[in-house]
Structure 1
Amino acid sequence: MNTLELYDQAASLAAMGAWSCDLESERLTWTGGVFKLFGLSVEQPLERQSIVELYSEQSRELLERKRSHAIETGGAFSLDANIVRPDGEERWIRINAATRSSGGRARTLYGMKQDITEDHTRWEALRAMAELDPLTGVGNRARFQRFLDQPDEPTQDDVGALILFDMDEFKRLNDWWGHSAGDACLAAFGERLRNAFPEAQLISRIGGDEFAVLLPSGKTRRDTEMEVGMRIGSLRSPILYNGNLLPIDVSVGLAFVSKDTELNPKLLFEAADRALYDAKRNTSKFLVCS
């Protein structure tokens, strides 16, 4: 057994393999471990376009962007990507890539691909636990902060508007009925938000009695304003607690992502927060940032 055969067999055991792509012809070369990772037969002809189609849309966009940059600069990149194999099984892979150049031009892209599905699943479960508000069942401030700090998640095209909710007179409710009653109201309000906005990209409790709802794009401003206004009524109805109806009222601030500029999550949050502040001083208690 030669060195290459030994490497290929050992890499296959570790669910990894080597690959290369001739950039002029786009011809792919894989070791057996990569075929196994993608659920393909080693006899199957490799066409890059059909392989790229196995990547999820978001992973495919990231791959093409990083690949193009590496080719242009003669550099390297790494990427954790999501694929769906021909048998329907979803996997996560880690790609490490580098370029080989001659004459000042990148000629070959090559590297390693490794199956990281189990590690990714464990990590996502831990992150979900760390980013979940245990009282309300929605995301916590850390989860919302990740949106503020990483605008690519969700992607810009997915974000249409941000709604901020503030429960009015919540301190008085706690003082009058007790903190257990306050917790019951928060839990019920979190559930109501999930029911009222099933299409939301993200629902988070971002403060003691303040919540954020991130809506997807695709609807007009007018339609979104009308739908939000109609759903507020169900959020404000009293909550039954130990045989008593506890009053719930909220102020609401709504801000939209501008179609003319790139998404800036922090500016979007500031706009919604201004609308919320104005709403708390307004009898309608629902204002849209102009």
Structure 2
Amino acid sequence: MNQLVRRAAFEVDSALRDDEVPNSLELYDQAASLVSAGAWSCDLSSERLAWTSGVFDLFGLANDQTPERHDIVEMYGEESRELLERRRSHAIETCSGFSLDANIVRADGIERWIRITAATRSSNGRAERLYGMKQDVTDDHARWEALRAQAECDPLTGVANRASFQRFLERRDDEPVLDCVGALVLFDMDGFKQVNDWWGHAAGDACLSAFGKRLSKTFPHARLVSRIGGDEFAVLLPQVSSRCETEAAVRSMIGNLQSPVPWNGDMLPIGVSVGLAFASEEPELDPQELFVAADRALYNAKESTSSVLVCA
């Protein structure tokens, strides 16, 4: 299918620049409708868009409307819009192409996922036109997200597993979770071994499950809540307006997080040490550096009388 789409994109580009072959566009539109796809072109000097009917259908717009790029861009989700602009700028600068799955909200309010493939036509080393294909991949995206959620979920606690956090550490440039990360909080459950020794591993699992649920409830706006080890958890917070207020908020949450867990008539104790590190103000986030700082703060917290320490 991808080879067919790429081939069609090049054929349609020829049609878009030749007004004398309307039959080519008509034939393409008929074929593209079978896969909910369409061709597009953008003149970079004027930002004028040219669409086949398939693209109008994707965005829920009437074919007789004139698409204005600044209006169309606003139909993209924030993360998709930012990623699109970065990929687009790089393609123009390097006279190259790109591929991107993007989230849009159609004119009728329906949310869809589209796959954009793009190439550049250039002259004398300068990009003059972007063109390519847009295809509806909503169903494929939903299936993929379901599989990924299953693969990246810790079944005991219900939060993300280590693989999800590892993706953050490995810093893929197109990874959405990298956007707007302001701080990393690491949690280590103190005395967890004693719970396993005294009440058994089923009791320990109950504590882990309860703690994971509490973290998800306590940090509803977190970029990621993940179990990264046996009794270790990580929470990625969005950008913060005040470091002092964020630290105070985290400290205030400790009491609820370490409330005893009811289990078979007993109350299982939970203790927790916390390491908090804030992302630097550099333009690019360094996940490894942030993790090392939070881990150092966590180690110091476990060695001190304070349950929460912030890396200086």
State the TM-score, normalized to the length of structure 1.
0.95
The change in CA–CA distance for 1:77 and 1:84 in structure 2 (over 3 A counts) is same
For the 8 Å contact 1:151–1:265, the answer to whether it is kept is: no
Match of 1:202 in 2: 224
Give, in angstroms, the shift of residue 64 of structure 1. Answer: 1.7
Q: Structure 1: state its 5+ residue gaps.
A: none
Name the amino acid aligned to 1:195. K
User: Is the partner of 1:2 in helix, strand or coil?
Assistant: helix
**Deviates most, 200-209 or 211-220:** 211-220
Distance of 2:221 and 2:122 partners within structure 1: 47
Q: Structure 2: state its 5+ residue gaps.
A: 1-21
For the 8 Å contact 2:105–2:112, the answer to whether it is kept is: yes
User: Is the partner of 2:103 in helix, strand or coil?
Assistant: strand
Match of 1:142 among 154, 163, 169: 163
Match of 2:181 in 1: 159
Distance of 1:14 and 1:21 partners within structure 2: 22
Asked whether 1:75 is paired with 2:96, we answer yes
Match of 1:53 among 59, 68, 74: 74
Match of 2:63 among 26, 42, 55: 42
Match of 1:21 among 38, 42, 47: 42
Give, in angstroms, the shift of residue 151 of structure 1. Answer: 5.9
**Deviates most, 6-15 or 176-185:** 6-15
Match of 2:5 in 1: none
Give, in angstroms, the shift of residue 157 of structure 1. Answer: 5.3
Asked whether 1:278 is paired with 2:300, we answer yes
**Deviates most, 195-204 or 119-128:** 195-204
Match of 1:235 in 2: 257
After TM superposition, list the pairs within 5 Å mapping 1:185-224 onto structure 2.
Answer: 185-224=207-246
Name the amino acid aligned to 1:196. T
Match of 2:54 among 14, 17, 33: 33
**Deviates most, 194-203 or 131-140:** 194-203
What fraction of aligned residue pairs are identical, expressed as a percent?
A: 70
Residues 43-99 of structure 1 show CA distances to partners (whole Å, capped at 9, x for unaligned) of 111211111111112212222222222222221111111111110011111111111
Give, in angstroms, the shift of residue 13 of structure 1. Answer: 2.0
Residues 12-70 of structure 1 show CA distances to partners (whole Å, capped at 9, x for unaligned) of 12101111112222221111111111111111112111111111122122222222222
Residues 225-245 of structure 1 show CA distances to partners (whole Å, capped at 9, x for unaligned) of 111111101112211110011
Give, in angstroms, the shift of residue 10 of structure 1. Answer: 1.1
Distance of 2:245 and 2:179 partners within structure 1: 18
User: Is the partner of 2:75 in helix, strand or coil?
Assistant: coil
Distance of 2:299 and 2:69 partners within structure 1: 53
Match of 1:64 in 2: 85
For the 8 Å contact 1:132–1:138, the answer to whether it is kept is: yes
Name the amino acid aligned to 2:119. A
For the 8 Å contact 2:59–2:106, the answer to whether it is kept is: yes
**Deviates most, 249-258 or 20-29:** 20-29
For the 8 Å contact 1:162–1:213, the answer to whether it is kept is: yes
Report how many aligned residue pairs link the two structures: 290
**Deviates most, 18-27 or 207-216:** 18-27
The change in CA–CA distance for 1:104 and 1:256 in structure 2 (over 3 A counts) is closer
Match of 2:122 in 1: 101
For the 8 Å contact 1:151–1:263, the answer to whether it is kept is: no
Give, in angstroms, the shift of residue 195 of structure 1. Answer: 2.1
User: Is the partner of 2:109 in helix, strand or coil?
Assistant: coil
Residues 198-240 of structure 1 show CA distances to partners (whole Å, capped at 9, x for unaligned) of 2222111100000111111133111011111111011122111
Give, in angstroms, the shift of residue 261 of structure 1. Answer: 5.5
User: Is the partner of 1:25 in helix, strand or coil?
Assistant: coil
State the TM-score, normalized to the length of structure 2.
0.89
Distance of 1:216 and 1:18 partners within structure 2: 37
CA RMSD in angstroms, aligned pairs only: 1.6
**Deviates most, 203-212 or 147-156:** 147-156
Distance of 2:282 and 2:24 partners within structure 1: 56
Distance of 2:285 and 2:125 partners within structure 1: 36
